[in-house]
Amino acid sequence: MSHTPTPLIAGNWKMNGLGASLAEVTTLAESLKSEPAKARVAICPPATLIERAARIARGSAVEVGGQDCRAEAAGAYTGDVAAEMIADCGAGLVILGHSERRSGYGESDALVCAKVQAAIRAGLEPIVCVGETLEERRAGRAVSVVQSQVTLSLPDDLHDKRFSVAYEPVWAIGSGLTPSLAEIGEVHQAIRATLLARFGDAGGAVPILYGGSVKPANAAEILAVQDVGGALVGGASLKAADFLGIIRAL
Ligand code: 13P
């Protein structure tokens, strides 16, 4: 029984990056070769860059992931990308249920759950995002909202699969604001309890990442909070130097 999951620090580039940006992946890979990280490290570039990023990262400590996938395996879904296509590009992970997709595209917990199943079928490791809005936090509902999202976004058959949960308070994303360390700890412990109740001992081995305005300056204190098993980093993952500042904070 493991209660010390290997931390995961993942960079979500969102809709940022052209071919030239892949120099950051090269820099990251080279740095981790000379000084290995204490965490698994992943970059999730836009879909257009996954295959090239995976080629650069091959044989290095950098893993590559997608940012979303369609729940269906194939079909008439113009513009969408299937989990198997992401895996076929050389990625090993995929972010699912990011709040920018939940709010921007009306993605429900049930849809996120179907996408998680699609990712698992394709052999991808899902990073499943949850998080409350500012209104929900102000109403004292942060923990209950997040526990409900975790419960409904995860399928039952995950106990023997590798996946992680990312707690990203919606109001902390891209805002420069972060919850207090006590608030982060409270939500992460609630997520851990939910995972243990649902998946037994296996729920203790799931990394629970924190995301939302993580920077080199605040990474050490956030990563030291109990049950914080890594970070999902947006803006500060676009430059290798900043992202390395977060990775080295562990
Ligand atoms: P920022 O780190 O830019 O706040 O974004 C967090 C995020 O949404 C990562 O998925």
Is residue 194 situated within a structural domain? yes
Q: 23-33: b or e for each residue (b if 16 or more CB lie within 10 Å)?
A: ebbeebbebbe
Instruction: Judge contact between 143 and 181, C-beta under 8 A.
Output: no
- β-partners of residue 166 are 129, 209
Pocket lining: 98 vs ligand 1, CB cutoff 6 Å: yes
CA 44 to centroid of ligand 1, rounded, Å = 12
> Best of 213, 215, 222 to mutate for ligand 1, by most ligand atoms within 8 A of CB?
213
Output the domain CATH number for residue 215: 3.20.20.70
Q: Which atom of ligand 1 lies nearest, measured to the CA of 129?
A: 10
CA dist 41 and 29 (Å) reads: 10
DSSP letter assigned to residue 232: E
Convert the pLDDT of each residue in 172-215 to its tens digit: 999 999 999 999 999 999 999 999 999 999 999 999 999 999 99
Structure tokens at 211: 């995301």
Q: What is the pLDDT of residue 5?
A: 83
**Å from CA of 98 to ligand 1 middle:** 10
Is 2 contained in some domain?
no
Is position 123 within any domain?
A: yes
Phi, psi of 23 (to 5 degrees): -60, -30
Distances in Å between the Cα of 143 and the Cα atoms of 101, 133, 140, 148, 222 are 21, 11, 8, 9, 18
pLDDT in tens, 221-232: 999 999 999 999
Please state the atom number of ligand 1 nearest to the C-alpha of residue 237: 2
Residue 3 banded pLDDT, cuts 50, 70, 90:
low
Structural domain contains residue 152 = yes
Tell me, using a 6 A CB cutoff, whether residue 168 lines ligand 1: yes
How far apart CA 145 and CA 136 sit, in angstroms, is 8
pLDDT at residue 4 in the model: 74
Give the contacts of 37 (CB within 8 A, at least 6 positions apart): 9, 61, 247, 248, 250
Which numbered atom of ligand 1 lies nearest the CA of 232? 9
The radius of gyration computed from the CA coordinates of the chain, to the nearest angstrom, equals 17
For 99-146, the pLDDT digits (tens) are: 999 999 999 999 999 999 999 999 999 999 999 999 999 999 999 999
- Asked if the structure places residue 69 within a domain, the reply is yes
Q: Is 188 contained in some domain? A: yes
3 domain-assigned? no
Tell me, using a 6 A CB cutoff, whether residue 230 lines ligand 1: no
| Structural domain boundaries, residue 214 | 8-247
pLDDT the model gives residue 110: 98
Taking the centre of ligand 1 as the mean of its atom positions, its distance from the CA of residue 139, in whole angstroms, is: 23
Is the pLDDT reported for residue 2 higher than 70? Answer: no
Q: Which residue numbers are catalytic? A: 98, 168
Which residues, listed in sequence order, are joined to residue 211 by a DSSP beta bridge?
Answer: 232
Structural domain contains residue 44: yes
**What kind and span of H or E run contains 143?**
helix 142-153
Token pair belonging to 33: 């070769």
Rounded distance from Cα 212 to ligand 1 centre (Å)? 5
Q: CA 45, CA 238: separation in Å to the nearest integer?
A: 9
Q: Is 213 in the pocket of ligand 1 (CB under 6 A)?
A: yes
Can you tell me whether residue 152 is helix, strand or coil?
A: helix
pLDDT at 1 over 50: no
Atom of ligand 1 nearest to the CA of 172: 4
> Rounded mean pLDDT of 30-52?
98
Closest residue (by CA) to atom 9 of ligand 1? Answer: 234
pLDDT above 70 covers what percent of the chain?
99
Across 20-47, average pLDDT: 98
If residue 211 lies in a helix (H) or strand (E), which one and from where to where?
strand 208-211
Please give the tally of structural domains in the chain.
1
User: In sequence order, what DSSP letters do the residues of 91-112 get, joined into one string?
Assistant: --EEEES-HHHHHHS---HHHH
